[in-house]
Amino acid sequence: MNSEKSRMNFLFLSLASLLMLLGVAMGAFGAHGLRGILSEQSMTIYQTAVSYQMWHGLGLGIIAAFSQHPPHSKLLIWAGWLMFAGVALFSGSLYVLSLTGIRWLGAITPFGGLAFLIAWGLVGVYGWRNFGKMP
């Protein structure tokens, strides 16, 4: 594996770990620090942000793992960046919305969801193209 691909693998693994670490911290903060402070609706929004962050942090880790082995693909690089951007847009907007009540932030959330959809689609295309090629 060339050094650029190796750096990308480690970058995605590092970002995945950061997303998961922050997801656990945000989940604990929500469960222990925000109960009774946020309304039930805001708490549900907050929990959705944590859930999507955790799942997509794991997804980014999976992308990092697949990127370590041939065949290498720009599809996985794009998928990784879109997965990370999706967390920032989707979960980030929901965190701020739930904590501040700024409703217009809800308009940003679908862009994060779209990034997730495209990322998973790219992972699927990668899998389809390489079915049977991996050891």
| Whether the predicted pLDDT of 5 surpasses 90 | no
| Whether the predicted pLDDT of 96 surpasses 80 | yes
Q: What is the dihedral of CA 109, 100, 40, 29, to 10 degrees?
A: 90
pLDDT band at 67 (very low <50, low <70, confident <90, very high): confident
pLDDT at 82: 98
The pLDDT tens digits for 46-63 are 999 999 999 999 999 999
Q: Would you say 81 and 64 are in contact if contact means Cβ atoms under 8 Å apart?
A: no
Average pLDDT of the chain?
92
> Rounded distance, CA 98 to CA 38, Å?
8
Q: Of all residues in the chain, what percent carry a pLDDT higher than 70?
A: 94
